[in-house]
Amino acid sequence: MPDEVGLDRASPVPLWRQLLDDLRSRLSSGEFGAGFPSEATLTSSYGVSRQTVREALRRLVDDGLIDRGRGRGTFLRNAAVVQLMGPLYSLYRSAEEQGFVQESVVRHLEVRSDERAATMLDLDPGAELVYLERVRMVDGWPVVVDCSWMPEAVAGALLQADFHRTALYRELEERCGVRLDAGWERVEPVMPDAIQRRLLGLRTGVPVYGIERLARQGDRPIEWRHGVVRADRFVFVSRWGSGRVDAVFEPPGGAAAPA
């Protein structure tokens, strides 16, 4: 029978794995904002051995979610937002679900023409586009500089939205009737330019994640996004199950190909 905290001793899944999954879930919900429990506390509350707890904690350290040190105990790593990779995700939802307050400073929300953005969206070079540029704040810290381009014919209603405390994809669905369901994203280390560095409050020489995304509704490109993310306040985590996982690389503007 499962015990009080949900570990099933009759399950073929090892106890350390069950404990790991439960701790990941609690971390994602923001339960440990006041501090991560000690090894002894976890051993007692879950009713498992110290070795079981240590194995689960070792995996959390490997995921970049916690830090451990002799004489220092266990603590959350930089109070970072944990972002699961795979399906299309929302920073707003991820941050809010983990107990952070997410706000945006909107730098630009207007109609523009941009040849590169139009090309990414399979439009004529002079097509009118909705351009949204935001500095994403998490608990008052600037974390992301986000730039999104969308066809004005599809996303024109977004010009009336207040993006201070809302998600782009929510507004796209509610105001424009567009639900994004496919696309690709690339994440790589880059050096921010002077403006990005100032907006994120970074010193010269500090790298960030560069993110580029093309999101679609079916086969139609709807959003081309590019921006930078503070590497010290954002953690990307990829999970998979026991079934087959095929890695696919999709170059900008090209067809998907096995990686």
How do residues 215-229 score in pLDDT, each as one tens digit?
A: 999 989 999 999 999
Question: Could you tell me the pLDDT band of residue 2, with boundaries at 50, 70 and 90?
Answer: very low
- The CA distance from 103 to 166, in Å, is 8
How do residues 163-210 score in pLDDT, each as one tens digit?
A: 998 889 999 999 999 999 888 888 888 999 999 999 998 888 888 989
pTM above 0.75, yes or no: no
- The CA distance from 256 to 239, in Å, is 21
- In order of 76, 145, 146, 158, 244, the CA distances from 170 in angstroms are 30, 19, 16, 11, 31
pLDDT at 216: 92
Q: What is the mean pLDDT of the chain?
A: 80
- The CA distance from 77 to 176, in Å, is 38
Q: Which CATH architecture is the domain 88-233 placed in?
A: 3-Layer(aba) Sandwich (3.40)
In the structure encoding, which two tokens stand for residue 198, read together?
């100032």
pLDDT at 34: 65
In the structure encoding, which two tokens stand for residue 193, read together?
């330019």
Question: Could you tell me the pLDDT band of residue 231, with boundaries at 50, 70 and 90?
Answer: confident
How do residues 55-68 score in pLDDT, each as one tens digit?
A: 999 888 776 677 77
Q: Cα 258–115–226 angle (5° rounding)?
A: 55
The partner residues of 112 in beta bridges, in order of sequence, read: 129
Structural element, H or E, at residue 237 = strand 234-237
How do residues 90-140 score in pLDDT, each as one tens digit?
A: 565 666 566 667 789 999 999 999 999 999 999 999 999 999 999 998 888
- The CA distance from 199 to 153, in Å, is 31
Question: Could you tell me the pLDDT band of residue 147, with boundaries at 50, 70 and 90?
Answer: very high
Give me the residue spans of the domains in the chain: 15-76, 88-233
Locus of tokens 């109070």? 79
pLDDT at 247 over 70: no
Q: Which of 33-42, 75-84, 222-231 has the highest mean pLDDT?
A: 222-231
Question: Could you tell me the pLDDT band of residue 254, with boundaries at 50, 70 and 90?
Answer: very low
- The CA distance from 193 to 49, in Å, is 50
Close Cβ partners of 248 (under 8 Å, ≥ 6 residues apart): 256, 257, 258, 259
Task: For residues 141-170, give the mean pLDDT.
Answer: 94
Q: Cα 14–16–20 angle (5° rounding)?
A: 120
pLDDT at 75 over 70: no
Close Cβ partners of 198 (under 8 Å, ≥ 6 residues apart): none
Which of helix, strand or coil describes residue 182? strand
CATH value of 15-76 in 3.40.47.10, 1.10.10.10, 3.40.640.10, 3.90.170.10: 1.10.10.10
